[in-house]
Amino acid sequence: MRRRAPEAGPQPYCPSRSRMLEVDGSLHSGSGTIVRHALMLSALTGQAVHISNCRVGREKPGLRAQHTWVAEAIRQLTNGETEGNHVDSLDLVFRPGPRLVHRRYDWDIGSAGSTVLLALAVLPYLAFVPHRVEVEVRGGLFQDFAPSFFHLRHVMLPLLEHMGLYAEATMQRPGYVHRGQGVIILSVRPHGAKLSPVMRDKPAAVQRFWGISLSSHLDSRNVSQRMATAAKEELKEAGYHVDFELVSDASAVQAGAALAAFADCEGGGRLGADRAGAPRRRSEDIGRYVARQLLADIRAGATLDRFAADQVIAFAALADGTSQFLIPQVTEHVQSDAWLVERFLGAATEFDGNLMTIHGVGFQPSQPPRDARQEKL
């Protein structure tokens, strides 16, 4: 199935353009994905955007704290303007500014909202900044319905490095639901060229399984060991051996846990799965859940796991050339991202079963961001 690009094609950077792009946030996934990625693409293209019906179908409609901070972070990066950027807002307007980028930013979500999703929202923009930028983000690092810090560091960033985006992420302190207060540092280096496409159109054999089992203030309950053991047993039944690094942490502001497992494949690909701890969620259930999720993506013949599948779409649409990869399934999030890159960039996408094809536009901003430090000289 081919999704056709708009006739207008990709829009050049022009913050003075009076026409505003209308995005209905209730379509497709109807989730925060539409808010985050529409803001990011607006910043890249310079196209002002009005997002209506933000998360209108969710249990708590409207923007949450993590969404308002994505909007604020992108506003700061672009020196732009926002309207309606507050918790519970159903309508958000964003007008990019003159792309004045500092070398250091500090953002505190103020809740357990995902620091990883905020980092992924600004990464495409920072990919085209001509100088190194460091960002410190405070909030949650491990929670349900969002990729974890482990997935960002060990799956997404190596994948993006293959495409020409060089970034590093470090965890200064874990953060869990409900208090958050975890800290990550994201450092992005300029690559000086267009992004390269991803070509992973054939299933690859798994060469190695490994993982990380993290717990904070839970040594007396052997949580790290119990999660890892349960995952090992599940994978052993499928004929696989996995080695886990056990991590005991005392720096988090609350007790918490997270487990991640990875499968390294021939050709350099990597699939990941993870699960955060939660009240009344047994360590053994976490271990089995992670192992089964990873096995499900492998058995689907995927070359990108379910989290990477939708997060990479914007980067592939910006790349210079055609990307192809196998995903576990075509989810509403994947459909949302395909829809947005077509609207903002004119990047056509196609689905043939689980094979996704993205025709990248070879994006380069017509007005490169200026170094805010140099601006003061």
| 333 in active site | yes
Residue type at 68 in one-letter notation: T
CA-based radius of gyration for the chain: 20
Token pair 């005392």 in the structure block, residue:
250
Distance of CA 272 to the CA centre of its chain: 13
User: Minimal CA–CA distance to 309: which of 29, 110, 111?
Assistant: 29
Angle between helices 332-345 and 32-45 (to 10 degrees): 20
Sign of CA dihedral 342, 333, 258, 232: negative
Token pair 């209506």 in the structure block, residue:
52
Distance of CA 373 to the CA centre of its chain: 28
C-beta neighbour count of 4 within 10 angstroms: 10
The single residue of 28, 67, 333, 359 carrying the catalytic annotation is: 333
The DSSP 8-state label assigned to residue 372 in this structure reads: H
Q: Hey, which residues are catalytic here? A: 333
